[in-house]
Amino acid sequence: MGRLFGTDGVRGVANADLTAELALGLSVAAAHVLAEAGTFEGHRPTAVVGRDPRASGEFLEAAVVAGLASAGVDVLRVGVLPTPAVAYLTGALGADIGVMLSASHNAMPDNGVKFFARGGHKLADELEDRIETVYEQHRTGEPWARPTGAGVGRVSDYAEGFDRYVAHLIGVLPNRLDGLKVVLDEAHGAAAHVSPEAFARAGAEVITIGAEPDGLNINDGCGSTHLSLLRAAVVEHGADLGIAHDGDADRCLAVDGAGEEIDGDQILAVLALAMREAGQLRKDTVVGTVMSNLGFKIAMEREGIQLVQTAVGDRYVLESMKAEGYALGGEQSGHVIVLDHATTGDGTLTGLMLAARVAATGLSLADLAGVMERLPQVLVNVPDVDKSRVSTSPELATAVAEAERELGATGRVLLRQSGTEPLVRVMVEAADIEQARAVAGRLADVVKSALG
């Protein structure tokens, strides 16, 4: 069996790859593995289960709840809430497991199952591996040990989760947003109600788009992967800024008053300076990934802030932050982690903190983001190839070496396999956009021919 868990839980086409049987089996396996690890020792275990609005989330939620309850875990259903809300509530309620059903920015037919440990932190790789092993053992015939009578889990709805999460967001803001006009694109996703409520309670004038989820329209031409609607809306309404989330609202991209995109690197740059000013940027360090724009690194060096770079994936950013005690980290894609207030990327919190900086300084978002110059960076996704051979193909290695010689010290090349989709990402950075596009196009062609 290939590894089920990717960089962000188990994902696939709902009811094809990710079936009710798989969701149920993984939930039972997770309960058994965490029980083995001593997580439940001395008390009756509890789980928090949430989902995004995808239609498939309804039956997958039922499967996960059934699996956990059948393994003797009491379940609190929090309904449609962002991934970071489920992580927060797992910690705040002292639950032993958190489960989020979402495929984040993926298209509607996909879905995913993500587990959180006590405290709301992502499961360690070794626990995910153990869950897979236990799941496979029982899938092929070994019977589960099942509680009966009063030992089975009880299921209840926790409607207070919405207000408790919004109150948490408001409570950690350094200042109010009075006087700001903000457009929010909710991607018809999990934050469609939470994010507008939080911004409004914080004092902003709020205009929403993509905030009418029907189970089928999540991420459909809107949200952080499709910024054109938000850019137009910000200009049309004369807003100070726009905030875009993805389907499960663990990421945030922004748009300034002129409709120009502000990516995750620029958001990190703005927040790093704000947190250092407030004495909250521990060790004067921010954590990024190998995809971080070279302009971000240059700007941080100029400002006396160290940039630590990890592998791509917010889990690796988080691991570095927790290991070294750093307070801020994130990805260019808009996953931003403020570890004092969240255990995972939180798009609503990020947007609120960015808006708070605009309100506090009186400067425009464009002026604040101008602390860094974003060097041209071209990303090409090459689908339907054998991504596992990226690092072993001699033909590809030769093409990359040639590209690096051509770019010299003013650019770089990065090839990596997607952790959530069957494709290879080709990234080329150069001082000149046309050169970056040309090199990326050539490399993409080599990837197709070598790995196709």
Looking at the fold, whether 40 and 90 belong to one and the same domain comes out as yes
Return mean pLDDT, the chain.
94
Q: Identify whether 205 is part of a domain.
A: yes
Partners of 380 in beta bridges:
426
> CATH number of the domain that 415 lies in?
3.30.310.50
- Among 111, 138, 161, which residue terminates a domain? 161
The whole-number pLDDT of residue 392 equals: 86
Q: Identify whether 222 is part of a domain.
A: yes
The whole-number pLDDT of residue 295 equals: 87
Q: Which range of residues forms the domain containing residue 121?
A: 10-161
Looking at the fold, whether 381 and 312 belong to one and the same domain comes out as no
Looking at the fold, whether 193 and 338 belong to one and the same domain comes out as yes
Q: Is 388 a catalytic residue?
A: no
For 186, 251, 365, 369, the CA distances from 264, given in Å and listed in that order, are 17, 9, 13, 11
Looking at the fold, whether 235 and 310 belong to one and the same domain comes out as yes
Helix%, strand%, coil% for the chain, nearest 5: 40, 20, 35
pLDDT tens sequence across 133-191:
999 999 887 788 899 999 999 999 999 999 999 999 999 999 999 999 999 999 999 99
Q: Identify whether 275 is part of a domain.
A: yes
Looking at the fold, whether 196 and 328 belong to one and the same domain comes out as yes
Please say whether the beta carbons of 90 and 238 come within 8 A: no
pLDDT tens sequence across 73-108:
999 999 999 999 999 999 999 999 999 999 999 999
- Paired tokens of 14: 């709902």
pLDDT tens sequence across 29-55:
999 999 999 889 889 999 999 999 999
Report the chain's C-alpha Rg in angstroms: 22
Q: Is the model more confident about 256 or about 421?
A: 256
Looking at the fold, whether 117 and 155 belong to one and the same domain comes out as yes
Q: Smallest Cα–Cα separation from 343: which of 94, 121, 117? A: 121
Mean predicted confidence (pLDDT) in 198-204: 98
- Paired tokens of 285: 């360090």
Looking at the fold, whether 148 and 295 belong to one and the same domain comes out as no
The whole-number pLDDT of residue 2 equals: 55
Distance CA 413, CA 68 (A): 45
Q: Smallest Cα–Cα separation from 114: which of 170, 41, 190, 223? A: 190
The whole-number pLDDT of residue 201 equals: 98
Looking at the fold, whether 357 and 385 belong to one and the same domain comes out as no
Tell me if 246 is assigned to a ligand binding site. yes
Q: Is the model more confident about 67 or about 139?
A: 67
C-alpha triplet 161, 163, 166: angle, nearest 5°: 105
Distance CA 209, CA 222 (A): 8
Looking at the fold, whether 301 and 343 belong to one and the same domain comes out as yes
Query: How many domains in the chain?
Result: 3
Q: Identify whether 2 is part of a domain.
A: no
pLDDT tens sequence across 9-18:
899 999 999 9
Looking at the fold, whether 305 and 210 belong to one and the same domain comes out as yes
pLDDT tens sequence across 419-439:
767 789 999 998 889 999 999
Tell me if 248 is assigned to a ligand binding site. yes
The whole-number pLDDT of residue 90 equals: 98
- Among 369, 395, 421, which residue terminates a domain? 369
Mean predicted confidence (pLDDT) in 349-373: 97
> CATH number of the domain that 361 lies in?
3.40.120.10
- Among 345, 369, 393, which residue terminates a domain? 369
Q: Identify whether 4 is part of a domain.
A: no
The whole-number pLDDT of residue 1 equals: 43
Looking at the fold, whether 265 and 364 belong to one and the same domain comes out as yes
Q: Identify whether 20 is part of a domain.
A: yes
Residue 310 pLDDT grade (very low, low, confident, very high; cuts 50, 70, 90): very high
Q: Identify whether 168 is part of a domain.
A: no
Please say whether the beta carbons of 99 and 115 come within 8 A: yes
- Is 232 in a helix, a strand, or coil? helix
Catalytic site residue from 27, 104, 292, 333:
104
Q: What percent of the chain has pLDDT over 90?
A: 81
Please say whether the beta carbons of 238 and 181 come within 8 A: yes
Q: Identify whether 156 is part of a domain.
A: yes
Looking at the fold, whether 365 and 382 belong to one and the same domain comes out as no
Go through 258-283 and write b for each residue having 16 or more CB atoms within 10 A of its CB, e for each that does not.
ebebbbbbbbbbbbbbbbbeeeebbe
For 250, 290, 431, 435, 440, the CA distances from 400, given in Å and listed in that order, are 33, 16, 18, 15, 10
Instruction: Please check the confidence at residue 125 and state whether its pLDDT lies above 90.
Output: no
Distance CA 82, CA 88 (A): 10
